[in-house]
Structure 1
Amino acid sequence: MKKSDRRQAKSDLFENADTKENSTTPVKFSGTENPRYLRAIHALRVRPVPREQLDRVAGCSNGPALIAELRALGLGKAGLPCTMVPDRDRDGCAIRRGVYSLSVTGRRAVNAWLRKRKGGA
């Protein structure tokens, strides 16, 4: 194909983009200066955190509300999902425990915000 022919051919690179089932939802974290949120983000960057541990680490008594507020700052459920895992309570009864974690896109969004916050490249 000649160079002039390539210029005339219209590219559909972005016009006909289809969202696939396994594609990730873009996440943009707007950031925060709240110390409680920062403690929670730090813990989530290290490993998945059960709700009870999140309360202790962040210094709050309502982990789900804290997670909702972080999601509202741009992480959403796509960036900060909750997985219900089977467990047992102190009485030995079967329960499902909520464990929060940063998804790949959530981790990328937080890391991008941290780079911008620190003034790094």
Structure 2
Amino acid sequence: MTAPPKKKPQTVAADTGLSKEHKAKFTGTDNPRHLRAIAALLRRPMPRENLDTVAGCSNGPELVAELRRRGLEVPCERINFVDRDGFICRPGVYFLTEPDRRKVHQWQAKRKQGGTV
């Protein structure tokens, strides 16, 4: 009898295929949904459902992908959770890394000074 095939580990962070140099700088945004999502993630990590509500969108993963294309990492950590029906599930929680926070704060400071973004 042969062993069952091993499952590949689930990848959570999307690989955007961008070079490291491109990812190094946050290009900023004036999109209201992006701004609401960034403000919320600066306060605390949040699951997709909450991010959808705060940002005013129905596709949080695409919103996060847009932020990633603009230069932020915004990783997604899988947590263990028991849903309302008692089933174990592993929802993702988005958060900003320390480098992400630095990039956002630098961009906000430039924006406040009237610099180009």
The unaligned stretches of length 5 or more in structure 2 are: 1-20
Post-superposition CA distance 1:39-78 (Å, at most 9, x none): 0000000010111100000000110010000000111xxx
Distance 2:25 2:79 in 1: 27
Indicate whether 1:94 and 2:91 are aligned. no
Q: Percent identity?
A: 58
**Partner residue, 1:64:** 61
Alpha-carbon distance between aligned partners in 1 of 2:79 and 2:49, rounded to the nearest angstrom: 14
Q: Any idea what SS the aligned residue of 1:33 has? A: coil
Q: Quick one: distance in 2 between partners of 1:28 and 1:99?
A: 23
Q: In structure 2, what is the equivalent of residue 17 of structure 1?
A: none
Aligned length: 94
Query: TM-score with structure 2 length normalisation?
Result: 0.75
**TM-score with structure 1 length normalisation?**
0.73
Which of the numbers 98, 105, 108 marks the counterpart of 1:111?
A: 105
- 8 Å CA contact retained: 1:27, 1:105: no
C-alpha distance in 1 between matches for 2:62 and 2:71: 15
Q: Which amino acid aligns with 2:101?
A: R
Between Structure 1 and Structure 2, which shows a larger proportion of helix residues? 1
Moved over 6 A (4+): none
CA apart distance, 1:91: 1.4
Unaligned segments of structure 1, at least 5 residues: 1-24
Q: Secondary structure at the match of 2:58?
A: coil
Higher Cα radius of gyration: 1
